[in-house]
């Protein structure tokens, strides 16, 4: 179980602004002009499968490519692996 001080969609809105609408990992823009929308995954930095919580302190927004490549690694393991 996790803790959400405000509704989850508001946490995501805050993350998008804080991260400047960029992927947490590769820093590429999440805005897709051809689709005229933001494209992102809400991502657990420490995966639930590895003991992470579904909590506002354990999520970020990532581009789908980074989130898929990250698999069940922690954010630290993934950033070390991709340089």
Name residue 74's beta-bridge partners: none
How far out from the chain centre does Cα 44 lie?
6
C-alpha closest to that of 23 among 77, 64, 59, 76: 64
Give residue 1's pLDDT. 57
Quote the CA–CA distance of 72 and 69 in Å, as a whole number: 9
The CATH architecture assigned to 8-82 reads 3-Layer(aba) Sandwich (3.40)
User: If you ran DSSP here, which 8-state letter would residue 57 be given?
Assistant: G
pLDDT in tens, the chain (83 residues): 567 778 888 999 999 999 999 999 999 999 999 999 999 999 999 999 999 999 999 999 999 999 999 999 999 999 999 87
Domain ranges of the chain: 8-82
Quote the CA–CA distance of 13 and 16 in Å, as a whole number: 5
């Amino acid at each position: 179980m996790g803790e959400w001080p405000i509704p989850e969609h508001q946490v995501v809105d805050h993350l998008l602004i804080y991260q400047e609408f960029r992927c947490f990992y590769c820093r590429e823009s999440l805005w897709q002009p051809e689709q005229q929308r933001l494209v992102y995954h809400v991502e657990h930095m420490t995966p639930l499968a590895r003991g992470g919580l579904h909590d506002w302190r354990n999520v970020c927004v990532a581009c789908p490519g980074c989130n898929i490549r990250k698999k069940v690694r922690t954010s630290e393991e993934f950033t070390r692996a991709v340089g």
